[in-house]
Amino acid sequence: MGKKSFVKDYMTKDVISVSPDTKTTDVIKLMQESRHNSYPVVKDGKLVGMVTAFDIVSKEESETVKGLMSTKLVVANQNLSINDASRVMFRRGISRMPVVDIDGALVGIITNTDMVRSHIERSTPNKVEYFKKTMEQLYGIKTTLRHMPVETKKLRPTQDRVYADELEGRAYELKKGLAEPAIVVKTGDRWILVDGHHRAVASIQKGYETVDSYVVDLGKDIKLGMEKTADKAGIRTFDDIEIIDDDKHPLIALTESMQDQESKGDD
């Protein structure tokens, strides 16, 4: 597959942050001097909130940031893909998303501007062309590429799990007509789903009979490595895919759980 872009590739690492004890007047001065209207709030190296110009003008007056900051935030892990980060920010109306490590320490910030830059720099050929050429080189064949709807009942999945929150995002994209096509390999009479498992599962859940797809037709029957792996894992139909919903997506989280733990510690 083509090179995937991650938050760590585009985030700003040198982030200006404030502390809960920073005076509100100092934050206003900082906003006037810089071009930013929001700042992460850090205590003992950990991200504990965000303070925005909107917080300052809309909330009751407070001498320090602690009385103004928002503590329930959407944050990203630096290994989140740019596509997923972009979708989260778009759906939640966020222009700047803090990036934290596994311990909750602030390691960067990703902005709408970074998203635009990542899309402009997105490498060509795109991943469909790249995948097509890889198949041709791997098997010494000439393939054909078609953009077409594929019946969901024909598709053979190759992935054993999907995440509930990503399904929600894909369902939203499908409804709005924003979903990228899936990538499917036609080998013999089999239709192997290579990329787009969340899109396919979301389509099935919504009752759609087809999935918009790029189909790479091998023109002959070749047993793919990913088919063999799926065979071993017992993944033959979409019913075999586990939907992870009791577990947060490992790369996106709300900081409220951190806040809850801290408040319990303060009692």
pLDDT at 160: 84
CATH architecture under which domain 7-120 falls: Roll (3.10)
Going residue by residue through the chain, which has 267 residues, state the pLDDT in tens, using 9 for 90 and above. 345 688 998 888 888 999 999 999 999 999 888 767 889 999 998 999 999 988 999 888 899 999 999 988 889 988 888 888 888 887 777 888 999 988 889 999 998 778 777 765 554 447 788 888 888 988 899 999 999 999 999 999 998 888 887 788 888 888 888 778 899 999 999 999 988 899 999 999 999 999 999 999 999 999 888 888 888 888 899 999 888 875 455 555 544 444 444 444 544
Long-range contacts of 187-191 (CB under 8 A, 24+ apart): 187/218, 187/220, 187/221, 187/222, 187/223, 187/224, 187/227, 188/220, 188/221, 188/222, 189/221, 190/156, 190/221, 190/227, 191/150, 191/154, 191/155, 191/156, 191/215
pLDDT at 2: 42
- 221: helix, coil or strand? coil
Delimit the domains of the chain by residue range: 7-120, 127-244
Dihedral through CA 223, CA 191, CA 156, CA 216, nearest 10? 80
Spatial separation of the C-alpha atoms in residues 228 and 244, rounded to whole Å? 24
pLDDT at 145: 94
Residue 248 tokens, joined: 């947060």
- Record the pTM: 0.52
Sign, Cα dihedral of 81, 84, 89, 90? positive
Pairing of strands 38-43, 46-52: antiparallel
- What CATH code is assigned to 127-244? 3.90.1530.10
Residue 58: partners with Cβ closer than 8 Å, 6 or more residues away: none
Residue 148 tokens, joined: 């077409």
pLDDT at 87: 81
Cis bond before residue 125 (omega within 30° of 0): yes
